[in-house]
Structure 1
Amino acid sequence: MATSRLLVVVFLAMAVSVAEMAVAAPAAAPSSSSSSPFRTVYAFGDSFTDTGNTHSTTGPYSFGYVSSPPYGATFFHRSTNRYSDGRLVVDFLAQRLALPSFLPPYLAAAGNSSTDNVGVNFAVAGSTAIEHDFFAKNNLSMDITPQSIMTQLAWFDAHLRRTSKDKSKDKVADALFWVGEIGANDYAYTVMAPPSIRPKLIRTMAVQRVTTFIEGLLDRGAKYMIVQGLPLTGCLPLAMSLARAEDRDNISCVASVNGQSYAHNRLLLANLRRLRQKHPAAVIAYADYYAAHLAVMRNPARYGFTEPFRTCCGSGGGAYNFDLFATCGSPEVTTACAQPDKYVNWDGVHMTEAMYKVVASMFFQDSGDAYCRPAFSAVLAARKAQQGK
């Protein structure tokens, strides 16, 4: 299959429509006894960050089984509508900050003001950076989640109006904002677009929308923010199983797809530098998902993985154990591998809890800024210094 068609399949598989109501997030067991300067976290993004704003009934046929076992089997022992066997990076963030619970999904928290004790997760699986109208106007709206990153900003505004009232400015200034992966779906939905809609145009538009979103948070008073880049989208089992054999990079992943993510991240970084100059009072960190993912793929054994490409919850055997017509949670695939902690990939598109834990440890390590710049510890220190004034 040509790489262009591959991209459509890869990321349409990641896309799900938003559910009317989501499963409430389970309580978290804090992993750190040290006091945290942040008591509230607001998260945004797509399926790599979504903690339950979508579920099976509105998902696509290939990955529309997130409400079914064995999703959630490793940690929660039931599905929480997370696209993994357990916790996501944002869940490990909640534990690192010793929050009393994981972040509840917005659609479950909408009627419960008490959930704002820890914050809210607005991420939507399949969400795009560019507004849905663009895709609809260009006849590219098939199976596309209508919620964009700007929809999530509107949800955030509605949440503040409902819960914070006169204290919203202080609430925003004191919180940590986690801007998870966003933009991969935009490229997928436009791969089969007419020649006038080129990948460079999508990159420019997608990064501009993310930049506008971030500035919107800053204008609302956000002071502490971590923005996550795109991972190695060309290393997903689905991509690997469908790509042309010659389209490979030096880690045996799909070169063209990884190149697209790399270019996106470079433009995003350039825009973050400009935002830092424009908003010097804010701390804007970049979580380098691409570099973290690359480190694992270059030396998986170092991080405890023996299966960097095979799908833990999949079917078909072979090098990738992936069959688009028999995916995780479907009637054909009701069980997963015996040791998911040895696998990087969970269902062919999303990661295992073990992989998310490794990535989180890279982002939140106590020293160094190899994967989070400035370092996560510097973000915490900046907040503590502000509290001390």
Structure 2
Amino acid sequence: MDFKFSVLKLHLIALFLLPTSTLGFNYCNFPAIFNFGDSNSDTGGLSAAFGQAPPPNGATFFHSPSGRYSESVGLPYLDAFLDSMGTNFRHGCNFATAGSTIRRQNTTIWQSGYSPISLDVQQLQFSDFLTRSQHFREKGLFQNLFPEEDYFSRALYTFDIGQNDLTAGYKLNLSTEEVKAYVPDVLGQLSHVIKLIYGQGGRIFWVHNTGPVGCLPYVMDRFWVTAAQIDKHGCSSPYNDVSQYFNLKLRELVLQLRDELPAAAITYVDVYAVKYSLISQAKKLGFENPFVACCGHGGKYNYNRFVKCGSKTVVNGTETVLAVSCKDPSTRISWDGTHFTEAANRWIFDQVVGGAFSDPPVSLKFACNKMNTSQK
């Protein structure tokens, strides 16, 4: 299968801050976080629904398989909505699942690897969570496990989704122009979901654009790329061109939403620029070849879509792991050909959290402040 095994951390840390102010802006005291996305921020949703990710996934942070595809660096962990085991939703909930897309895919997870939990389903889950959590609290049940009513208007709503919508088209043998053609529809559905959440009280949104798809080993391995299409840093230009087009239209959407949702504070985060910067400076930053996966099996990129990280086989009655982790994951950027390592994500987060790649250019701890931006 081709669903996304992720060992990525959540981009959520240092959020529970004491109220104070500096330069006229208030520090944000987010009482809760509600996340929507794919494997880049899944903390166990797909594992809860379809089975746990096998070892060595999770080894670099949890030191054992955790069921969390995205590994967080901060506490408290954001529990997955679909996970019923030991969950605590007091400070929010994670609706992301690995393989999720913004718009529904006309396929099954067994056929293509895409999660049936598309963004519209995640929004329905959120709506259900909002209503039922308050119903339980009114009855005096599990009050310490659910957010208080006013948490929903003060919470941070994060979105990191869209990459799978782009690769889905290529898996159907669509051309680059054909993939670009459906981007407006994809973003229209994202806009609809954000507006629904705004209508339910959400006011603070942190929206990531999509990373450079053409720099992912699995894309370069699976889809035909000529030498002339490889840029100076080793990435595939046509696929990155699609990512950049998606991001251009996403940024336009964010500017439009700021006009349409006057009480909202919406931050657009340029994850593409951060990830591309990491890949282009890999050796300078202490990483090895950015296109060779740490956990994989064979080929130019140590990646084989039929032998995923942790895959096993039986030889002469003995079970053997075919795709094992490299000796030192901290020296690699790619974990499994599809996702970044914990070390790479730590570097990415350090660049993002301060606001240098955000519009407006403020750090996460000030994202609750509504600011006017003239960049249109």
What TM-score, normalized by structure 1, do the two folds share?
0.77
Among 112, 130, 154, the residue aligned to 1:160 = 130
Looking at structure 1, the residues matched to 15 and 130 of structure 2 have their Cα atoms a distance apart, in angstroms, of 28
8 A contact 1:228–1:289 mirrored in 2? yes
| Cα offset, 1:152, TM superposition | 0.3
Residue 172 of structure 1 and its aligned partner are, at CA, apart by 1.4
> Matched residues in 2 for 1:381 and 1:186: separation?
30
Q: CA deviation at 1:320?
A: 1.5
The counterpart of 2:162, out of the listed 183, 193, 214, is: 183
The equivalent of 1:342 in structure 2 is 331
Matches within 5 A, 1:27-46: 35=18, 37-46=29-38
Distance 1:286 1:255, change over 3 A: same
Measure the CA separation in 2 of the matches of 1:168 and 1:220: 14
Taking structure 2 as the reference length, the TM-score comes to 0.79
1:164 is displaced (CA, Å) by: 2.5
Which residue of 1 is the match for residue 57 of structure 2?
71
1:276 is matched by which residue type in structure 2?
R
1:371 maps to amino acid? F
Does residue 285 (structure 1) correspond to residue 270 (structure 2)? The answer is no
- Between Structure 1 and Structure 2, the one with more helix by share is 1
Matched with 1:50 is: 42
Note the C-alpha offset of 1:193.
Answer: 6.3
Contact 1:50 1:82 in 2 (8 A): yes
Structure 2 gaps of 5+ residues are: 19-27, 139-146, 313-320, 371-376
RMSD: 3.1
Measured after TM superposition, the shift of residue 328 of structure 1 is 0.6
8 Å contact kept, 2:48–2:82: no
Structure 2 counterpart of 1:352 = 341
The amino acid across from 1:327 in the alignment is K
**1:107-135 Cα deviation digits (max 9, x unpaired):** 115995xx222211100111111134xx2
Structure 1 residue 382: deviation in Å? 5.8
Q: Does 1:203 align with 2:188?
A: no
Could you tell me how far 1:57 is from its partner in structure 2?
8.3
**Aligned equivalent of 2:198:** 218
Kept in 1, the 8 Å contact 2:180–2:245? The answer is no
Tell me the CA shift for residue 349 of structure 1: 0.6
Instruction: Output the CA distance in 2 between the equivalents of 1:357 and 1:203.
Output: 30
Take 2:294 and 2:311, find their aligned partners in 1: how far apart are those partners? 14
Query: Contact 1:51–1:80 at 8 Å: present in 2 too?
Result: no
**Cα distance change on mapping 1:375 and 1:117 into 2, 3 Å:** farther
String of CA shifts for 1:79-113, please: whole Å, max 9, x gaps.
123346xx2xxx24xx2xxxx4210011115995x
Query: How far apart in 2 are the matches of 1:376 and 1:71?
Result: 33
Cα distance in 2 between the residues matched to 1:78 and 1:107: 21
Q: CA deviation at 1:169?
A: 5.6
Q: Does the C-alpha gap of structure 1 residues 142 and 364 become closer, same or farther in structure 2, counting only changes over 3 Å?
A: closer
Deviation at 1:326, TM superposition (A): 2.1
Q: Work out whether residues 313 and 336 of structure 1, in 8 Å CA contact, stay in contact via their aligned partners in 2.
A: yes
Is the CA contact (8 Å cut-off) linking 2:57 and 2:65 kept in structure 1? yes
Q: Structure 1 residues 280 and 47, CA, compared in 2 at 3 Å: closer, same or farther?
A: same
Equivalenced residue count is 333
Counterpart Cα distance in 1 of 2:367 and 2:252: 23
Residue 372 of structure 1 corresponds to: 358
Task: Write the distance in 2 (CA, Å) between the matches of 1:131 and 1:33.
Answer: 34
For residues 228-377 of structure 1, the aligned pairs below 5 Å read 228-242=208-222, 243-246=224-227, 247-316=229-298, 319-331=300-312, 332-333=321-322, 335-365=324-354, 369-377=355-363
